[in-house]
Amino acid sequence: MRNYRTSIALVLSLVIFLNVQRNFVAQGSAERKVHIVHLGEKQHDDPDFVTESHHQMLWSLLGSKEDAHDSMVYSYRHGFSGFAAKLTKSQAKKIADLPEVVHVIPDSFYKLKTTRTWDYLGLSAANPKNLLDETNMGAQSIIGVIDTGVWPESEVFNDYGIGPVPSHWKGGCESGEAFNSSHCNKKLIGAKYFINGFIADNESFNSTKSLDFISPRDHDGHGTHVATIAGGSYVPNISYKGLAGGTVRGGAPRSRIAMYKTCWYLDDEDIMSCSSADILKAIDEAMHDGVDVLSISLGSDVPLYGETDIRDGITTGAFHAVLKGITVVCAGGNSGPEAQTVTNTAPWIVTVAATTLDRSFATPITLGNNKVILGQAMYTGPEIGFTSLVYPETSGKSEQSFSGTCEELSVNSNLTMVGKVVLCFTTSPYSASASSAARSVKTAGGIGVIIARQPGYVIRPCLDDFPCVAVDWELGTDILLYIRSNELPVVKIQRSRTLTGQPVGTKVATFSSRGPNSIAAAILKPDIAAPGVSILAATSTNRTFNDQGFIILSGTSMAAPVISGVVALLKARHRDWSPAAIRSAIVTTAWRTDPFGEKIFAEGSPRKLADPFDYGGGLVNPEKAAKPGLVYDLGLEDYILYMCSAGYNESSISQLVGKVTACSIPKPSVLDFNLPSITIPNLKDVVTLTRTLTNVGPLNSVYKVMVEPPLGIQVTVTPETLVFNSTTKRASFKVRVSTTHKINTGYYFGSLTWGDSEHNVTIPLSVRTQILPYYYDEN
């Protein structure tokens, strides 16, 4: 059996060392408060001996066994030595002065809050000199959200302290069911709805009987949630499911929100449906109204329509919006971790992957043999003391059929579950399997469920705060072995604790769709990654689990508006930057590690180091994106050259761009498309490609090139130095790429960086050697 003591010491030490906001209650000198006493490594392997030593220390301090027993809260005796006890300030000081004590700190309350997203990304309002301050929190930017509508009563749309509506705004608020212009203000400046396409495709839809509102009002809550993340106002003291609260806000908290409702609830199918026709109309209206960024957390599944196909309303509408100077940010999809599942792949769209935060919802599970296993949950109910633990499996002689598979738990096995905690296993990546298992156990009279599943899947609270704790298969198997080796196995489940900061690692979420691009392999997708797991934001009161109107959701739907908020800040600072320049600034300055310098992993089977097909350029770094130095810019002619190189016919291109277009002969190379990335899907011998950089930094600048070549790939850049001055604002360079591989390979990854004393402008390199094409037939 593996020794867990080191890992437990590490995690429990987090409770002591986490650098998060703490609230302490003022206390008198004689008032006892819980303090954590850390004694370092255990000096004995017998946990009872360790606990006794803790009691002895308290006894010597307090003067009696009874007082020591009354003071003791926890004895940390498995992974490290320490204890929590109720002490006065003077008692805490005395015990801290003992030579064997490492340190003593007051207990603290850890908060579950989405401001963690922005603190994590370096956009803390506590810092007076950052991008938030320099842009007045995005006050002159307008974020258009195309989604399920808006719940205008939510406090995240308050306009306290927000100035006049930007002069370039030409939109308004449309009246409808339970919604009129009075619901708008200087924060929520626009709200429209588009339903005609939906009704045309769903003739049975009954608008008078539908649960949805035939207006901009949000029935589902999704639109309200993403709008909050992008640009919600400050709302303090928000709690969720009994966990400690905090301030909720968006990335650009003084930006303006315009909601365009295009998604509608189908009552008979219990799904939301969004018509391409309605989406196109919404984009069209948004272009007229004057939005600066469009945030679209919608998408389709593969196979995808071509980029010139009008059936893809998002791609087509986004193209026109980009030409009008509007940055379009889209969710990359939730079909990961399989390859080639990323959606919204057009090269004029900013496509977003989802990562976790440096946050964990640790939930201690203590077995009867005193082994502590840390599961993951959002359980905030009372501690479940030691109680029976069961795995409902059938012995060979049993006439009944019980299964330990989560999906097959049944009330027929209620004799096994009543008053017990149940262990089950699942291979499903969906949270519905956990919810179903919890429902079955609760219905059968059980009091909790431990769900063993693949690591990395999203954690959600179970209905009515029923204890449902997730562990991976390895830990689940350890628990199962304990059950099978004990006649009366028992378990204790404690409340979840929110742990933030190191060493909780950042990972690309399992569900986040992956590249390469299934439409155009030479166009890297996704472009960028942002936090999208367990994000707390506002919702409609139809969906909330509390009376405050907030909920935790996960998905690339939550990651995309993070980028939209960053774009709003960048647009406020650089009104003249094109969408391509903004995308380049975000991609070329991204973290390829987490903000603490640790490698970012990608969840899946198996977990691996993240690469550009997982997170594009990396994890967004807003502060660096504001000062990128150089950008890879694009305009209409660049997009036309791309479509010609991709093989689209001239009539399709002409239809999309609105003018007669003739492609050159020979057609241009897609590898020369001026993206902030280089992706070569079919390298056979040698290719040479071109990129052009535009200086947006100091007027007189000199940049030198640095290359991290992919494995087995030779990369040569000419020239090796770029000089910018008053007469040279743009400079081009050539990249010669060759392979040493003699066989077909998968993709290998590297990077190309132009750097000066202040900036590092980095793009990812992704190269696959293809000596023979995939479709080669040896017969």
Half-sphere exposure of 526 (CA within 13 A, CB side): 38
Contact 261, 296 (CB under 8 A): no
Q: Which of 38, 222, 320, 574 is catalytic?
A: 222
Q: 263 with 193: CB under 8 angstroms?
A: no
Is 54 among the catalytic positions?
no
Q: What type of residue is 138?
A: G
Q: Which of 38, 71, 75, 147 is catalytic?
A: 147
User: What phi, psi does 439 have (nearest 5°)?
Assistant: -65, -40
Kindly report the backbone phi and psi dihedral angles of residue 245, in degrees, each rounded to the nearest multiple of 5, phi listed first.
-100, -175
Q: How distant, in Å, are the alpha carbons of 194, 742, 758 from that of 209? A: 18, 65, 61
HSE (side-chain half, CA atoms, 13 Å) at 591 = 24
Amino acid in the structure at residue 2: R
- Annotated active-site residue 147? The verdict is yes
H or E segment at 655? helix 650-657
CA pair distance 760, 641, nearest whole angstrom: 28
Strand partners, 692: 732
Cα separation, 495 vs 473, whole angstroms: 22
Question: One of 275, 557, 584, 677 is an active-site residue; which one?
Answer: 557
Q: Among residues 320, 259, 330, 331, which one has the least CA distance to residue 287?
A: 320
32 touches 58 (CB < 8 A): no
Measured CA to CA, the distance from residue 467 to residue 390 in angstroms comes to: 15
Residue 347 CA to residue 730 CA, distance in Å, equals 21
267 is catalytic: no
- Within 10 angstroms of residue 758's Cβ, the number of other Cβ atoms is 10
Q: Which two tokens stand for residue 150?
A: 């808006």
Rounded distance between C-alpha atoms, residue 630 and residue 715, angstroms:
21
Cα(224)–Cα(219) distance, integer angstroms: 10
Bridge partner list, 406? none
Nearest Cα neighbor of 327 from 622, 585, 25 is: 585
Q: Catalytic residues, which ones?
A: 147, 222, 557
